[in-house]
């Protein structure tokens, strides 16, 4: 009897389990949706510029903005127009705003070391753009080979005038690039000077790189030498323009070869007009693209490469130095015009009289 009862119970349990089993084909279930995560905040780059009072730096600003934004990042740009205190204040504001990386064109190579220090305290890396920051724990320096620029200027002038009286109109003494350029110039000139073939009859820095100060320097050089000048090497096209204006006033324009750099529109127009002999072209679009790429990569924590180490008085700074290009009337069209740096109608349409 007991055995029969157990058998009936087991049979009932089997029927119950069978009835509870779902033998139907299960419906296809939608996969679980991943939680919606808002897009990460874009990388923000701060760009502290010395000045926007020269044509060259207006191009840097626009090209850099385009390059950064093409990489999906944002950029905030400020310019101090030669005011050291203002540049430091503007940089502090950028740092406090929460930028991811700071790019700086220093007005004063030494004074801007304070900016690097303040940025590092906030955990922000700093790239020196085109001009080196001195005596600071700088993270990266990207520029053209500025010593090579000076060599190109001097090589072009000594090829034309291997003997004679030379005038050197330097850049701003506060700008490390001005020192590098002068170093390159005199590396080439020194053997000529030692042989007595070349006499540097005037050598002066130009405060703030302004054409007016360069013109005053050139006027002084003309007075000191009674106009006995055979070559002028100017630190850039703006200072070359000031020097050439002084030469015009004394009736010497077009008679004396003049070298500059930057391939400013006014400079290449003077080359066409015959009042300036050469300039050194530094493809700014190449520079801005490289700085933008490296700035965004560094802000993301990526490893970037350098091709030089440049001593800034504090450390060997990882550096990327790009090659400049000497430009004269013979290769003007195949360089600055072909690259779209200046349009042909601009270069040939508004020449000096």
Assigned CATH for 146-282+327-349:
3.40.50.2300
pLDDT value of position 209: 95
Whole-prediction pTM: 0.79
Same fold, 44-138+283-322 and 146-282+327-349: yes
Give Dmax (Cα) for the chain: 141
Average pLDDT over residues 165-181: 96
CB-count exposure of residue 245 (10 Å: 0-12, 13-18, 19+):
middle
In sign, the C-alpha dihedral spanning 328, 262, 185, 170 is positive
* DSSP at 197: S
Kindly tell me if the per-residue pLDDT of 37 is higher than 80.
Answer: no
pLDDT tens profile 49-67 = 999 988 889 999 999 999 9
Q: Partners of 144 in the beta sheet?
A: 322
pLDDT tier, 159 (very low <50, low <70, confident <90, very high otherwise): very high
pLDDT value of position 13: 44
pLDDT tens profile 289-320 = 999 999 999 999 999 999 999 999 999 999 99
| Sequence-separated (6 or more) residues with CB below 8 Å from residue 74 | 42, 43, 44, 45, 68
Distance CA 309, CA 317 (A): 5
What mean pLDDT value characterizes the chain?
Answer: 90
* Secondary element (H or E) of residue 268: helix 265-273
Distance CA 297, CA 315 (A): 22
Place of tokens 């008679």: 255
Query: How crowded is residue 78: how many other Cβ atoms within 10 Å of its Cβ?
Result: 16
pLDDT value of position 351: 52
pLDDT value of position 4: 42
User: Which of residues 4 and 39 earns the better pLDDT score?
Assistant: 39
Assigned CATH for 44-138+283-322:
3.40.50.2300
> Distance of alpha carbon 200 from its chain centroid, rounded?
31
Distance CA 127, CA 174 (A): 19
Token pair in block for residue 216: 């005053």
Distance CA 183, CA 179 (A): 6
β-pairing, 316-322 vs 308-311, is antiparallel
Domain edges within the chain: 44-138+283-322, 146-282+327-349
β-pairing, 164-169 vs 325-327, is unpaired
């Amino acid at each position: 009897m007991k055995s029969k009862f157990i058998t009936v119970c087991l049979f009932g349990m089997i029927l119950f389990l069978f009835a509870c089993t779902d033998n139907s084909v299960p419906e296809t279930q939608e996969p679980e949706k991943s939680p919606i995560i808002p897009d990460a905040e874009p990388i923000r780059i701060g760009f502290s510029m010395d000045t926007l009072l020269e044509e060259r730096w207006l191009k840097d600003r626009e090209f850099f903005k385009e390059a950064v934004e093409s990489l999906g990042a944002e950029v905030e740009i400020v310019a101090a127009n030669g005011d050291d205190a203002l540049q430091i204040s503007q940089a502090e504001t950028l740092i406090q705003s929460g930028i991811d990386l700071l790019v700086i064109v220093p007005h004063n190579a030494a004074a801007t070391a304070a900016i690097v220090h303040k940025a590092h305290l906030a955990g922000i890396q700093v790239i020196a753009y085109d001009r080196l920051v001195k005596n600071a724990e700088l993270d990266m320096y990207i520029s053209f080979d500025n010593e090579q620029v000076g060599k190109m200027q001097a090589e072009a002038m000594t090829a034309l005038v291997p003997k004679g009286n030379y005038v050197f109109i330097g850049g701003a003494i506060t700008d490390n690039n001005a020192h590098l350029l002068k170093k390159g110039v005199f590396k080439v000139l020194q053997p000529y000077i030692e042989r007595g073939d070349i006499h540097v009859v005037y050598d002066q820095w130009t405060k703030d790189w302004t054409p007016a100060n360069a013109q005053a320097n050139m006027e002084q050089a003309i007075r000191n030498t009674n106009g006995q000048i055979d070559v002028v090497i100017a630190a850039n096209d703006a200072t070359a323009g000031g020097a050439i204006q002084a030469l015009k006033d004394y009736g010497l324009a077009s008679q004396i070869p003049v070298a500059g750099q930057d391939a400013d529109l006014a400079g290449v127009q003077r080359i066409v007009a015959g009042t300036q002999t050469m300039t050194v072209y530094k493809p700014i679009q190449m520079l801005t693209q490289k700085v933008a790429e490296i700035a965004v990569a560094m802000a993301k924590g990526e490893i970037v490469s350098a091709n030089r180490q440049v001593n800034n008085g504090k450390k060997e700074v990882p550096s990327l130095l790009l090659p400049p290009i000497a430009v004269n009337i013979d290769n003007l069209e195949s360089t600055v015009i072909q690259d779209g740096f200046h349009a042909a109608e601009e270069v040939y349409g508004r020449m000096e009289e």
